[in-house]
Amino acid sequence: GAVVSQHPSWVICKSGTSVKIECRSLDFQATTMFWYRQFPKQSLMLMATSNEGSKATYEQGVEKDKFLINHASLTLSTLTVTSAHPEDSSFYICSARDTGSWGAFFGQGTRLTVV
């Protein structure tokens, strides 16, 4: 299956700082990438959908100025959590869709802890 690499796998940052998470499709071109957030023992909640070269579409209730998404190439999307606060601590997961198919493949996830 297609491989999606997410980095870092975990990060601890101080409150007020910004954190960038990368999501790469390693062996296919991803026209669309998705960013999810997952709280303990809960399912994945879609935060935003990004298409290469255009602005991301955010789900209702997700602050686009706080969660900056960039999808500058067909193999890379980034999520930047700006001015992070402890309530932003969560597990963030990206997924990528291969052009012409509907298989959605997921990265390994990033555990963000804001102290």
Partner 1 sequence: EDQVTQSPEALRLQEGESSSLNCSYTVSGLRGLFWYRQDPGKGPEFLFTLYSAGEEKEKERLKATLTKKESFLHITAPKPEDSATYLCAVQARAKDSSYKLIFGSGTRLLVRP
Which C-beta is closer to partner 1: that of 15 or that of 22?
22
Per DSSP, 97 falls in state E
- The residue written with tokens 């960013």 in the block is 35
Contacts of 65 (CB under 8 A, 6+ apart): 82
**Using CB under 8 A as the criterion, which residues of the chain lie in contact with partner 1 when the complex forms?**
1, 4, 6, 32, 34, 41-46, 49, 51, 57, 91, 93, 95, 102-109, 111
Return the number of the residue (43 or 115) whose C-beta is nearest partner 1.
43
Query: In angstroms, how far is CA 58 from the centroid of its own chain?
Result: 12
| CB of residue 61 to partner 1, shortest distance in Å | 13
> Shortest gap between Cβ of 56 and partner 1 (angstroms)?
9
Structure tokens at 65: 């100025």
